[in-house]
Amino acid sequence: MYDRSLKKIINSIENHIYPMDSNDRNNGFRKHKYSYLKTAAWPIGVYKRIQLHPEISIYPKFNFVKWASWILKKVHLRDSQIQFTDLIGPLLGWFLLKKEISTIRADIIISKKNERILVLLYGKQKKVVKVRPYKHSTKKEADNTAKAREIANINNYIRIPEIYHQNHETASYFVQELVKGKSL
């Protein structure tokens, strides 16, 4: 899933969040687009995991153009990046998603390679860890979040997550509270 140095950084960060449980040594994940969802009992457990991530839709896509593009790809008439599991959604396509094993204890891992950031969601602890493993700093993002939180506390109509811990020395990351909400 990720290289060893990045796993080592993430494991050290996770040890600050909560102590290691003996059941957390090898965790199974299923890959859906750019996210890795921790395995859970299907369908209720999977549904609860997916609810943590506002960008993943549980429902199948009803976009005719995407379905037509996928069909044309199957009959070799068109080149397309659309996968069948993208169309039916992660809940219905759970058993078709690629399996991965990792020692990372997050419920969802979101890898945004264009932005060079890795986001780890922890449902039980209600925390989010944002890691920039490629010599880019999260300091600016953390500072912007802190400023937005100050402004939001004055107006009291928008909720900005609190930052619990940050480190910009060895690996650039910060830990913040998990806030469930809807995107604007």
| DSSP states of 21-87 | PGGGSSEEEEEETTEEEEP-STTHHHHHHHHT-TTS-SSPP--HHHHHHHHHHHTTSS-----HHHH
- The residues spanned by each domain of the chain are 4-177
Higher pLDDT, 15 or 134: 15
Is pLDDT above 50 for 184? Answer: no
Q: Look over the chain and give the mean of its residue pLDDT values, rounded to a whole number.
A: 76
The pLDDT-based confidence of 133 (bands split at 50, 70, 90) is low
Report the residue count for the chain. Answer: 184
Residue-level pLDDT at 162: 77
- What's the pLDDT tens digit per position in 36-79? 888 888 888 888 888 877 778 888 888 888 888 888 888 888 78
Distance, CA of 124 to CA of 140 (rounded, Å): 27
Higher pLDDT, 78 or 98: 98
